[in-house]
Amino acid sequence: MRAGSTCCARRPLPDISFVMEMIVPTRPIGGRRVMKAQLHHLAEVARLRHVRIQLMDPDREDHAALDGPFVLLETWRSPGPSSRTAAARAATA
């Protein structure tokens, strides 16, 4: 996600929250130069008032994603809860 992307340029700004395992920003995939650029971008995005980034402790023994991937997205256009539930089940199947 780029700080100047459409999502971050619209008004009102959406509240965006991420949870990442600590290993994600520390794994040097792509080499040191790529990792450095990724960390700078992550810091740039984290400075935005409407973005919250949380890092999960590597010693944590359990978390919600252990049962498989999931995405929670609510917008003013979102269908009712039953449709979101069905979509979430389909995404994790």
Is residue 88 domain-resident? Answer: yes
Mean pLDDT of the chain: 75
Is residue 12 domain-resident? Answer: yes
How many folded domains does the chain comprise? 1
Mean pLDDT of 29-39: 92
49-85: pLDDT as tens digits? 999 998 888 888 887 777 777 666 666 665 554 444 4
pTM for this entry: 0.56
Is residue 74 domain-resident? Answer: yes
Element (H, E) at 23: helix 23-26
d(CA 18, CA 48): 13
Is residue 63 domain-resident? Answer: no
DSSP assigned state of 30? T
Residue 37 has pLDDT above 90, yes or no: yes
Is residue 1 domain-resident? Answer: no
DSSP assigned state of 77? T
Is residue 45 domain-resident? Answer: yes
Weakest mean pLDDT among 1-5, 22-26, 46-50: 1-5
Token look-up 């340029």 returns 9
Is residue 43 domain-resident? Answer: yes
Q: Which domain holds residue 48?
A: 6-58+68-92
pLDDT, position 33: 93
79 against 93, higher pLDDT: 79
